[in-house]
Amino acid sequence: MLTGNAHNTLKSLHSLVQEVNGANNLDQVLALIVRRVKVALGADVCSVYLSIGDARDRLMLMATDGLNPSAVGQVVIERDTGLVGQVARKAESVNLGNAPAHPSYRYFPETGEERYHAFLGAPIIHHGDVLGVLVVQSHRAEPFVEEMETFLFTIAAQLSGAILHAEAQGRLGPPTGGVSEKTLLKGEFSGPVQGQPGAPGVAIGRAVLIHPFAAIESVPDRHITDVEAELEHFREALERVRSDVHEMLARMHHSPAGQAQAGLFDAYLMMLDSDSLVEGIELRIRSGVWAPAALREVVLEHVKAFDAMEDPYLRERAQDVRDLARRVLEQLEQGADGRLAREYPKDTVLVGEEITASMLAEVPQTHLVGVVSVRGSRTSHMAMLASAFGIPAVMGAEGLPLKRVEGAAIIADGYSGRLYLNPDEAVSLEYIRLQREEEELAAGLRGLRHQPAVTVDGFAIELMANTGLVADIRPAQASGAQGVGLYRTEFPFMIRERFPSEEEQRAVYQQVLDTFHPLPVVMRTLDIGGDKNLSYFPIVEENPFLGWRGIRVTLDHPEIFMIQLRAMLRANAGLGNLQILLPMVTSLREVISARGYIDRAYDELVEEGYKVTRPKVGVMIEVPAAIYLAPELARRVDFFSLGTNDLAQYLLAVDRNNVHVSDIFDTLHPSLLRAIKQVVEVSEQSGVPVSVCGEMASDPCAALALIGMGIKTLSMSASGILRIKWLVRSFTLEQAYELYAEVSQMEAPAPIRAHLETALRDAGLGGLVRAGKS
């Protein structure tokens, strides 16, 4: 049996993956793999075959250490041919001592492999897809020991992620003598890049790659002696950033959608003058730290907790702070005359590792036709902004080779999440047709802004907005939202280096309540813990999502809870449209205790002379325990709000942002639909109203099912309201009931979605499923 040194192999594995991640092109990556694996396993040959073709039905020899180098790029093996094909076809390892004697063996004379007898091949798999085969061979006619087979399998599993990571970063260049750059871009090598649908529509144009000018994490420490000069340098940089933001604001005001987003840049200006940022930075400069490092320390304190968040909405808030810091750092590094100019073609599709709102604003609105971001998801703030501007977007395009997209012809399908680089004529003509029909759809939706959300047979469905920032208010109003179904109060806490005071919270809450008055505003009490930590109030746990979070934290810290409750009640004085929502409720004791604190805050304020009123109080139904406690909860609260994002995660035991299990997360899973229906039945029996405030409400298929099971209030991001209004106005309530009755008998998400999509198309709403399918 062929053996190797297990300790050395394990030691080599980590350094090999690190080297692959740092490689510059495909040749370099594969040369590293074959050289290091050959040594680690004590073999005479190591080769890599990668899947090619749209169907990945062939394998090409891409690199070797031991076979004839001239065979690279020339040997192509069908999946139903040879031992390499068998490994790929069965997605299983093959370990033979005398490979030429095996019936599946096929000899390729150009490789010179007739000298080798032992064969060990392991599939390179990523998410069930065979990317290629890693092979080692030896002169000796005996199989490799099982330990070596396990090591090769482990290395192949590690390399699959490393190869895709390098491709996403644009470091996988063309293989020598094999596949051309043009072929790679057209997708013959790896097919169209699959991302996530971000904002609906089809973008056809030229890719413009945008990079952040500065990386805040990479700023080194440096001591200064002239503190006053450094302070002046920092203040000048701030002033130049203020000027840039004012210019962006002026540009945004040229379009209705831009006006709707202007509040975000007002928030940027407020941050530039905020005590928590500016004074914190200046304090560090006065201690002898140079301005870039002082900026780094303060900003990273703010974003550290955000970066680990699972909640896409709140994670995007951190990105706004990070983006502003990038702009300040750029000015600190380049100075007053260091502005970089960029030309944007009239059909710009903005592409980047992580697109931000200010990057979007830098492009003339008449030139921007699409957005593609390697990071983010359909629930991210960037996706919402793109939708508000009517710009198609694809998010989470992790397989996109960024370094090769600049100037390429690109099609971004905001419905399917697919990207085509340098597409052929047939694909281009089809998408041009779809784009034309999508434009007709968008024009029709704009006419619905002032129309009521009423079914064909006259039943009203309330459509509300989810918000968390002042910048979200304008797009919510422009979409015709009938109030705020979920206002996330965490952000004022997360942008500070300390807990916000009662007065600071009151001012923020009052602005939201006053803007939407007399429409209702549902404010969720502080929901931290899990993935939402505060830099100044860290919560470190082994399993944070099942730990100290939500209502559990605020009940354990009544001093925090009482300040927030007092601020809410004071903000509501004279308005009366506040409703309070309690998050992560799992027991009656939590509701009773929370209501006790609300009563106490009310009594205190009355005694102090404030003219406050008692608001309605509801609970989030977002954990399975609350579903089964719904009858008891109904006797103690005024309303239910279904948080379907977390509820789906807990019911399915899946993190929706984890790429390894993201395909399991589906809001049309039968278990989730049945759980929601159970809460609806309790609502109908008790008279306690129930709404849905998760992103499920903005999914046309899911919204149709929700209406069919009896939900009368849907709350979603502003970008989805007009589309769901079109849906509401196209069906009778009886039709929705019948559709839910039909899908409730189905056993899996796929047939449920297919059945609902068919109903949408039959009703002439195929445009909500994807462009051109009405």
DSSP 3-state of 539: coil
- Which one, of 590, 565, 442, lies nearest residue 506 by Cα? 565
Catalytic residue check, 46 = no
Is the sign of the CA dihedral 743, 747, 750, 751 positive or negative?
negative
d(CA 449, CA 386): 18
DSSP 3-state of 686: helix
Return the residue matching tokens 């004590």.
42
Name the region of 274 (left: φ>0; alpha: ψ -120 to 50; beta: rest): beta
**Residue 328, CA distances (Å) to 237, 272, 318, 335, 342 in order:** 6, 9, 16, 10, 19
- Measured from the Cβ of residue 416, the count of other Cβ atoms closer than 10 Å reads 17
Query: Could you tell me if 144 and 17 are in contact, meaning their C-beta atoms sit under 8 angstroms apart?
Result: no
192 φ/ψ angles, rounded to the nearest 5 degrees: -60, 145
DSSP 3-state of 206: strand
Q: What is the DSSP string of 750-761?
A: HHHHHHHHHHHH
Query: Could you tell me if 119 and 94 are in contact, meaning their C-beta atoms sit under 8 angstroms apart?
Result: yes
Q: Which residue among 117, 233, 302, 381 is the active-site one?
A: 381
Query: Could you tell me if 668 and 702 are in contact, meaning their C-beta atoms sit under 8 angstroms apart?
Result: yes
Query: Could you tell me if 315 and 306 are in contact, meaning their C-beta atoms sit under 8 angstroms apart?
Result: yes
600 φ/ψ angles, rounded to the nearest 5 degrees: -65, -45
2 φ/ψ angles, rounded to the nearest 5 degrees: -80, 130
Helix axes 312-334 and 381-388, enclosed angle (nearest 10): 80
User: Which DSSP category does 219 fall into?
Assistant: P
Q: Which long-range contacts (CB under 8 A, 24 or more apart) does 316-321 make?
A: 316/376, 316/380, 316/381, 316/382, 317/381, 317/468, 317/469, 317/491, 317/494, 317/495, 318/494, 319/354, 319/356, 319/381, 319/382, 320/264, 320/267, 320/268, 320/356, 320/357, 320/381, 321/271, 321/495
Catalytic residue check, 693 = yes
Q: How far apart are the first and last CA of the chain?
A: 64
Q: Which residue among 46, 117, 669, 693 is the active-site one?
A: 693
User: Which DSSP category does 113 fall into?
Assistant: G
Is the sign of the CA dihedral 485, 490, 493, 495 positive or negative?
negative
- Which one, of 505, 486, 281, lies nearest residue 379 by Cα? 486
**Which three-class secondary structure string do you get for 271-286?**
HHCCHHHHHHHHHHHH
Question: Could you give the residue numbers annotated as active site?
Answer: 381, 693
